Amino acid sequence: MIINREYFSRIKKKSFIIMTIIGPLLLAALFIVPIWLQKIAGEDSKLIAVIDQQNMFNSSALNHNANSKTDSIFTLMDLSRQVLPFDEKYSEDSVAGIFEALNYFIAKIDDFEVFFNPEKVTGVLDQLKIKVLDTYSKNIPADSLKKLFSEQYIEAYDIIAENCIKRDKFFVNMIPDSRFYKFVFLRDVNKDTLLAELKTGESKYDAVLEIPETFYNKNFSGVQMYSKDEIHTGLQNYVRLSMEKEVERMILISEKVDIEVLNKARKNFTVGFSVMQDDGFSESQAELKQMIGFIAGFLIYIFIFMYGVQVMRGVIEEKTSRIVEIIVSSVKPYQLMMGKIVGIAMVGLTQFLLWVLLTFAIISGLKSYLSEPAVISDQQIAQQEQLMNTPGVNGVNMDQSMQMPTAEQSILDQIESLSDIVFGYVILLFIFFFVFGYLLYASLFAAVGSAVDAETDTQQFMMPITIPIILSIISIPVIVQNPDGPVAFWLSIIPFTSPIAMMARIPYEIPVSEIILSMSLLLITFLFVAWLSARIYRTGILMYGKKVSYKELWKWLKYKG
Amino acid sequence: MMELFKAEGVSKQYSNHLALDDVSISVEKGKIFGLLGPNGAGKTTLIRIINQITGPDSGSLFFEGKKLDPSHISRIGYLPEERGLYKKMKVGEQALYLAQLKDLPKREAMKRLKIWFEKFDITAWWDKKVEELSKGMQQKVQFIITVLHKPDLLIFDEPFSGFDPINANLVKQEILNLRNEGSTIIFSTHNMGSVEELCDNIALINKSKNILQGEINEIRNKYKANIFDIEFSGKINLPQLTLSSSYEILNHKEIDSGHKLTLKLIENVKTNQLISNLLDIGNIVSFNEQIPSMNDVFIKAVEETNLKLKMEGNSHE
C-alpha cells in the first residue's frame, strides 16, 4: 500500500514526466550535438594569409603552376635557366655569366637543400662546372661550346630531375588546409598593408601568419600570427603542430637524414591491443569500458543523490504535515520507512528503464539523421587517410576537433559490436548496485529526515553521508585508469563506496570473487544500516520541535520498541 | 461492566525523564473514557502505547482481556493531537489510502466514505488537494478517516481543536452516536466542559502518574467542598444567620425578590442540620449543593499532587 502510494504519487508528478523525457533527450544530444556542431563549423572556414618570406613552407610557390606540386623541383631548374643566358649570343662574357649562373644555382641549391639530397645534386653540378671549364680551356669555338654546354646541362638536369622526381610526394603544403582553416601563401607582399587591411576589416583574410626571412637561420624563431579577433586555441594548436612537424623534418633532412628513411620512419603507427578470451583473442575495448565505467558510476551517484534526497524530503514532509502519527497508528514505523524507500526505488528504476528505452529509441530513431554526419565522417576519414599517406605531414591533422566525429562513430559501432553477454552482465550488476547502494543511502537519508524538523536542519547529518559518495565519485578517474589497483580494490569492497566504485570497475573483467564479496558486504551493511535507521526513524518521526544532536540519536538507538 | 481495554502498571522511560510511572487504566466497553492531565503529563505517551506506536518499558496492556498485539491495530481508531494530511494529495484519494492502511477493502472504504462525506457535507472536496482546505475542513476529513473502519476502540486526542462551535457540536454528536452504536472511546482533552458533557469515566494523569480515576460523578462528588447555594424570598433574620457556627458565609447578595447566600458547611455537620438551622432564618426558595466542575476538580487534584511532590522533594533535601 505504502509502496503503491509512494510510487504512483511520484510517477504522476509533472517533474517526473518532464525529467523522464528530458533525460534521454539530453543523453541523445550528448551524442548528436558534437556531430552537428562539426557540421556547422565545417561550413565556415577561416582564411589565413601566410607571408612566407623564404618560401620555406609553401612548395607550390616555387612553381609557376601552384597546383602542380609534383614538379616543383624543376622550377628550381627553371629559375637557374632564366639566369643562364643560353639563348643569348655566346661570348666570353656569357661564359662568365654561365659561371655566375652556376654559382647562383649551387648557392640556391644550398638554400633549398632541405628539399632533397643536396650532395648528389651539387655533385652533379660540380661535374658540370668542371666539364664546362675543361671545354672552355680547350678553346673550342663558341657555337660548339654552347652546344656542349647545353648537352652537359641537360644531362645534369636529367640527373637532378631523376633524383628529385622520386621525392615529389615530399612536396605538399607544409601547413595543409583543413576543414576549418585555409592557408594562402603570399610572397612579395607588404606585411604592413596586409595588417592594416586586417585591422580595418577590409581584408579577405581572417588572420595573417608571418614567417620571417630569418626563420631558418635564427633557430626557427620569429613566427607571428596576427588577427583582429582572438585567435582560438584550435587554430593556434593547428599552426603550431603543423610547423613543428615541418621544422623537425627540415632539421632531420639538413642533418643528412635520407628522405626515404625519414618517410619510412614516419609510418602511421598503430598497435593492436588484444585481450585473451576463451576462444582466442579479442580486440581491447579499454576506451569503451572506461566510458561504461564512468557512465555507470556516475548514474549511480546521481540516482543515489536524487532519490535519497527524495526519501529524506518525503520523511520530512510526513513529519511536518503531522500525518505520520495517523499512519503509524495503522502501520509500523519500519513498514512506513521501508515502504517509502522501496516505493521511491521503484520510481527510480522506472525512470532509469524509461531513460534507457527512450535513449535507445531516440538514437536509433536518429540513425537516419546520423547517417548524414556519417558521410561527412567518411569524407574526413578519407581526407585523413590521404593526409596520413602523405609522408611528412603524418599526424599533423591529429587535431582534437577533427578526431571527434570519427571517435563518436567508432564508439557507437563498438557499443553495437559489444557482445550482449557482457552488456547484460554489466546491466544486471548495475541494477544490483544501484538498488542496494540506493537502499543503503536511502535508509540513512530517511533516518536523517526523521531526526529533523525542516530540511534546513539536515546539514549536520548530511555531511557524513555525502562524504563517502563524493569520495567515490572523485576517485572514479583513478579507478578506471587502474581498475586492479589498491584504491580501486578497497573502494569497491567498502560498502559505502562500493556501489559507485564497483560499477566503475565492472566493465573490466574483475574476479567474480571480488564482486561477490563486495555484493555480500553491501547487502549485510544495508541490513544493518536499515535496522539502525529504523530505530532512529521510529523515535525521530514523533519528536517535534527539538534540535537533535548525535548524542541524542545514540540514545534513540537504545530505546525499546 | 465489561472492560474493553486495560493497562496495568505501564511505565515508560525516556532518556532524561520518566514519561509514565506505573499507570493503570481501565476502559469500559461502550463508554466514553476521559484521559485528562496537564501538558506533558504523559497522556500522549500512553495513547501512543495503546496504539502500539511505541512499547512500554514495563507493564501490560489488554484488549478484550487478551494481551494487546498488532492484530488489534485495525480495531483501534486514533485521531492524534498533532495531525495532518499529505498536502499535495487529493482528499478522496488520501482518505481511501489511509482507510486501506487499516485493512479496509477499497470498495467498502469508498462506500463508507461517500456516506460520511455526505453526512459532513464535504462531498465537493473529494477532488481537492488537502492544501486547499481550511483547517476545520481538514479536521473533518481526519475525523472521518479515524472512524471509517468502525473500530471498537476510538481514541480522540483534542478532537475539537480547530472547529467552530457549530462543527464542534457536529463532531460531538457524532462521537455520542458512535458510542451509542457500541464503540468505546478514549477522549483526551483540556476542555473540561466537554469532559463533563461526554465522559462517563475519567483518569487524570499528572507528573507521569495516574492520580485520579473513576466515574465522573463520583469524582465530582468526592471533590465537593460542602458549599451550598441558598435563595430566600422576602426578608431574612440577619442576626441569626450570622450567629450559627455550623457554617461560614462565603457570599451574601441581596436581590429584588430576597437574598442569595453561599455557605460553606463546617466539617462533620450534616446537611439536614444546616437545613433545620436555615428554616428559622427565612423562606427558602432554593437549596443547592455546589458540585465542583471538572475544571475545579482538575485544578485541585493537580495542585494537590504537585504540592505533595514538592514537599517530598523538600523532605529529601
* CATH number, position A253: 3.40.190.10
Position A554 confidence tier, pLDDT thresholds 50, 70, 90 = confident
Task: For residue B82, give the nearest of A317, A333, A544 by CB distance.
Answer: A544
Q: Among the three residues A170, A196, A211, which one is the final residue of a domain in this structure?
A: A170
Among A118-132, A226-240, A286-300, the least confident range: A118-132
Task: For residue B101, give the nearest of A1, A9, A320 by CB distance.
Answer: A1
Same structural domain, A253 and A304 = no
Residue A16 exposed, middle or buried by CB count within 10 Å (0-12, 13-18, 19+): middle
B266-286: b or e for each residue (b if 16 or more CB lie within 10 Å)?
eeeeeeeebeebbeebbeeee
Beta bridge partners of B261: B230, B252
Residue A542: DSSP 8-state: T
Query: Which pLDDT score is estimated for A375?
Result: 44
Nearest-Cα distance to chain B for A519, in Å, is 34
Position B30 confidence tier, pLDDT thresholds 50, 70, 90 = confident
Q: How far apart are CA B187 and CA B174, in angstroms?
A: 13
Among A163-177, A298-312, A528-542, the least confident range: A163-177
**Assigned domain for A307 exists:** yes
B48 pLDDT exceeds 90?
no
Q: Among the three residues A209, A231, A265, which one is the final residue of a domain in this structure?
A: A265
- Residue spans of the domains in chain B: they are 3-221, 225-289
Query: Which pLDDT score is estimated for A377?
Result: 46
Q: How far apart are CA B129 and CA B91, in angstroms?
A: 6
Q: Among the three residues A203, A230, A265, which one is the final residue of a domain in this structure?
A: A265
Query: Which pLDDT score is estimated for B23?
Result: 87
Query: Which pLDDT score is estimated for A521?
Result: 92
A62-100: b or e for each residue (b if 16 or more CB lie within 10 Å)?
bbeeeeebbbbbbbbbeebbebbbeeeebeeebbebbee
**Assigned domain for A273 exists:** no
pLDDT digit string, tens, across residues B202-245: 888 888 888 888 888 888 888 887 888 888 887 877 777 777 77
Residue with cell 466539617: B267
A534 pLDDT exceeds 50?
yes
Domain residues for the domain of A116 are: 59-170
The answer to pTM > 0.90 is no
pLDDT digit string, tens, across residues A86-136: 444 444 444 555 555 555 555 555 444 434 455 666 666 667 667 666 666
Is the Cβ of B76 closer than 8 Å to some Cβ of chain A? yes
Q: What is the dihedral of CA B255, B258, B264, B265, to 10 degrees?
A: -170
Among A145-159, A254-268, A339-353, B189-203, the least confident range: A145-159
Query: Which pLDDT score is estimated for A524?
Result: 93
Q: Which of A329, A331, A335, A538 to mutate to test the interface with B (most CBs of B within 10 A)?
A: A329
More confident residue, A331 or A12: A331
B252 pLDDT exceeds 80?
yes
Task: For residue A321, give the nearest of B54, B73, B85 by CB distance.
Answer: B85
A501 pLDDT exceeds 60?
yes
* CA distances in angstroms from A426 to A282, A519, B249, listed in the order given: 18, 14, 94
User: How many percent of chain B have pLDDT more than 70?
Assistant: 98
Q: Which of A2, A14, A325, A337 to mutate to test the interface with B (most CBs of B within 10 A)?
A: A325
Same structural domain, A104 and A52 = no
A414 pLDDT exceeds 60?
no
Q: How far apart are CA A265 and CA A431, in angstroms?
A: 50
In chain B, what residues touch A2 (CB-CB under 8 Å)? Answer: 101
B295 pLDDT exceeds 70?
yes
Same structural domain, A52 and A63 = no
Question: B83, A325: Cβ pair inside 8 Å?
Answer: yes
Same structural domain, A349 and A492 = yes
Among B54-58, B76-80, B244-248, the least confident range: B244-248
Beta bridge partners of B67: B62
Q: How far apart are CA A502 and CA A472, in angstroms?
A: 10
Position A79 confidence tier, pLDDT thresholds 50, 70, 90 = very low
Nearest-Cα distance to chain B for A327, in Å, is 7
**Cα angle at A319 between A315 and A322, to 5 degrees?**
140
Is the Cβ of A204 closer than 8 Å to some Cβ of chain B? no
Task: Please say whether the dihedral angle defined by the alpha carbons of residues B270, B276, B281 and B287, taken in this order, is positive or negative.
Answer: positive
Query: Which pLDDT score is estimated for A60?
Result: 38
Question: A542, B78: Cβ pair inside 8 Å?
Answer: no
Question: B86, A323: Cβ pair inside 8 Å?
Answer: yes
What residues contact residue A174 under an 8 Å CB cut-off, 6+ apart?
A56, A57, A58, A59, A242, A243, A246, A393
Question: A325, B15: Cβ pair inside 8 Å?
Answer: no
pLDDT digit string, tens, across residues A14-70: 666 776 677 667 766 766 676 677 666 555 677 888 776 654 444 433 333 333 333
Q: What is the mean pLDDT of chain B?
A: 84
| Mean pLDDT along residues B171-192 | 88
* Grid cell digits, residue A52: 612566407
Same structural domain, A410 and A495 = yes
**Assigned domain for A275 exists:** no
For the ranges A116-120, A515-519, B130-134, the maximum mean pLDDT occurs at A515-519
Question: A329, B84: Cβ pair inside 8 Å?
Answer: no
Task: For residue B55, give the nearest of A329, A542, A560 by CB distance.
Answer: A560
Query: Which pLDDT score is estimated for A89?
Result: 40
**Assigned domain for A92 exists:** yes
Same structural domain, A316 and A395 = yes
Question: B86, A318: Cβ pair inside 8 Å?
Answer: yes
| Mean pLDDT along residues B98-110 | 85
Is the Cβ of A15 closer than 8 Å to some Cβ of chain B? no
A400 pLDDT exceeds 50?
no
Same structural domain, A213 and A131 = no
Number of A to B CB contacts under 8 A, please give it: 70
Question: A321, B89: Cβ pair inside 8 Å?
Answer: no
Residue A268: DSSP 8-state: P
Query: Which pLDDT score is estimated for A523?
Result: 92
Q: What is the mean pLDDT of chain A?
A: 69
**Domain B225-289 adopts which CATH fold?**
Alpha-Beta Plaits (3.30.70)
CATH superfamily of B3-221: P-loop containing nucleotide triphosphate hydrolases (3.40.50.300)
Interface of B with A in 6-45 (CB under 8 A): 14-15
Same structural domain, A310 and A398 = yes
- Phi first, then psi: give them for residue A476, nearest 5 degrees: -55, -45
Is the Cβ of A273 closer than 8 Å to some Cβ of chain B? no
